[in-house]
Amino acid sequence: MVTEHEIWSAIASSDISLVEHSERNDFITPKCDIFVWRRPSDGHTDIVTGVSADKKTIYVLESIGSSGGREEDTFNKQQGVDKVRNCQYKVGSKALSRHKDFKGYHRLKL
């Protein structure tokens, strides 16, 4: 398990905090929150760019590597990998809160 302090160390800042209860599968995160999954050896982040009106879909900006994403078949494959892309995932999907190493959504401290 990677702690919040280890995430702060990885990004060289403590100006971000875990949003309470954001690890729940039914959590609806607002625009600008940061999705984090982290293992001791690697990790991934997405920036939330929006939520659908029916609160069932979360839109994110992500940088994805050559291994692709957890739900690669759920969005437009023409966007490719090894670049930044806009994606959409269902709330509670395996690409978000059901991801094995999901730590929750984080929010910048303002």
Q: What is the CB neighbour count within 10 angstroms for residue 47?
A: 15
Whether residue 50 contacts residue 33, with contact meaning beta carbons closer than 8 Å, is answered with no
> Per residue in 35-83, pLDDT tens?
877 677 777 778 899 999 999 998 988 876 555 555 555 554 545 555 6
Q: What is the mean pLDDT of the chain?
A: 76
* pLDDT in the model for residue 81: 52
Average pLDDT over residues 16-44: 82
Distance between CA atoms of residues 71 and 89, nearest Å: 8
The mean pLDDT value for 99-103 works out to 75
Q: Is the model's pLDDT at 17 over the cut of 70?
A: yes
Enumerate residues 6+ apart whose C-beta is below 8 A from 42: none
Give yes or no for residue 87 having a pLDDT over 70.
yes
